[in-house]
Chain A
Amino acid sequence: MNASRLVFRNMTRRRGRLVLTLLGITVGIASLVTFLSLGASLQREIRREAHALGADLVVAPKGSCAYEQVSILTGDQLPVTITMDEVRTIASLPGLTAVPLLTEKTAVRNRPVPVVGTDLALLSRLKGWRLAQGRLPDLPDQPGLVAGSAAAEDGGLGLGDTVTIRGQALPVLGILAETRSRDDTGLFLPLELAQELFGVGDRVSFVAVQVDDVSRTGDYVLAIREATALGVVSDEQMLQSVLSVVGTVSFTVQLIAAVAVLAAAFGIVNTMLTATYERRREIGILQALGARRGTIFRLFLVESGCYGVLGGFIGVATGALASLFLAPYVGQNAFTAFVKGSAGGLDPATAAGSILFSLAVALVAGTYPAWKAAGLAPVEAIRYE
């Protein structure tokens, strides 16, 4: 009998124990893979939203925290404190295109929908929007709105239909083509009309700025800070700030899942120690046939590694499925709202890494039982009945 057949026979000799040991490692790896997958999905969505913002710089009230920067990406409300005078000051600086935005919310069919008041022509140019139907409002105070593709679909909105915002019925003048970003879920109004409806005077929530020369971004930031008392962050700084917050949360839950894998490792130790005890006679016979200590050590270690690889494969498959089902529910948290609409899924590197991690844990867990098996005295081993 060769070594691989011996390992296979030993593993399947106690099928109940095999299943229970595999269950332990499977549950641990599945939870690890689920959290890794959801974390990666979240980061992808954050990057996509940051890119979809279409701005090189974001001007927000001074001292904005990371949460407020998340709100810029999610389209949630922000303090409305930036005046149009400040917007004009920024716009007058050479090399900059400044787009003021007012972010609010309303309801369509009793479901909350983001509302953005802005210079629609300028924002459309900045983001490269395409209209699927209709047109943009012609005037900054023209009663009417443009709906994102998903907002129109979910709200059953077509051209000419009306949406009541703050008690005023506004016709749908245009519907955007799908952008695969937050813009799909929003309603877009001319800025002056939005300011009047929401009663915020001449103030806006933040300013998206596009620069002519990206290599001079630092100069532009200084120029805006000198000209106004506002905070300025680059799109990359904002992205890193948000990713660091999300990364901390992801790391914590992944650590918890890793502890579950370590707990499963003790299951492997238990299984292998029991196997060592049960197979003392078999070990003695192997030694009598000339098997060295190293050979016996390797046999037990390979068996333990097999638990890791098998549990790893099943755990990765279970975790990938779980992440697909759970991804939409993660989006219900304020910090993870980006995941809405995300498909979840698992990349090959994470899958391979998780299986290798499972193997490594199983090998470490199997080392002590293998060492105990290899250290048995031949006489004592063969004497066992």
Chain B
Amino acid sequence: MKKKHLLALAGAALAVVAVAAIAAVNLKSGPLPLQVNDVRSDPAAFQGTLTVVGIMAAVSPTDPAIFGVMDKSELLCNSPNCNKFYLPVRYEGPRPAHGDEVEVTGTFTHGGRLLTATAVKTLRNHKI
């Protein structure tokens, strides 16, 4: 392989890395999903459709379509008095598994007491 070909190859590799980095930064610059702890204190203050990220950690004993998601940061807490809060989510589609990190898109209903989801996307599972 000639020198100029190698140089072109190295230049192309650098360009690909630069484009990928810029694309990654731009993709992330949109509105960030909310965390459960962001909305737990005053859910009614959030208007319209929003996306909340959390860990599926509980299921309603009375309504299987309602499950509870806790904040991701609770995975880091290891004291007996952890500040666990389960945000109730109603979703008519398939229920995520226990420990699934989910991205819930929906609106707060019932005066902010329930997040009625239109989409639930599973990101990964945490063994909890």
Contacts and interface: CB of A to CB of B under 8 A. Distances in A.
Interface stretch (A64-72, A280-288, A376-384): A64-72
B53 to A, nearest CB: 11
Interface stretch (A1-9, A162-170, A292-300, A352-360): A162-170
Interface stretch (B69-77, B93-101, B117-125): B69-77
Interface in B1-54: 1-3, 5-7, 9-10, 13-14, 21, 25, 28, 32, 34-35, 37-42, 44-48, 50
Given A104-B42, A105-B41, A329-B28, A81 B81 contact: yes
Interface string A12-33: 0011110110010000000000
Given A19-B10, A105-B40, A112 B76 contact: no
Interface in A215-251: none
A77 B84 CA distance: 10
Contact of B1 (A16, A198, A335): A16
A107 B46 contact: yes
Contacts of A104: 41-42
B50 A110 contact: yes
A322 B77 CA distance: 31
B32 A164 contact: no
Contact of B38 (A62, A112, A329, A335): A112
Interface in A324-359: 325, 329, 332, 334-335
B62 interface: no
B48 A110 contact: yes
B42 A107 contact: yes
Contacts of B76: 67, 334-335
Contacts of B81: 61-64, 79, 81
What are the 5 closest A-B residue pairs judged by CB atoms, nearest first?
A16-B6, A112-B38, A107-B45, A65-B79, A334-B73
Contacts of A20: 6, 10
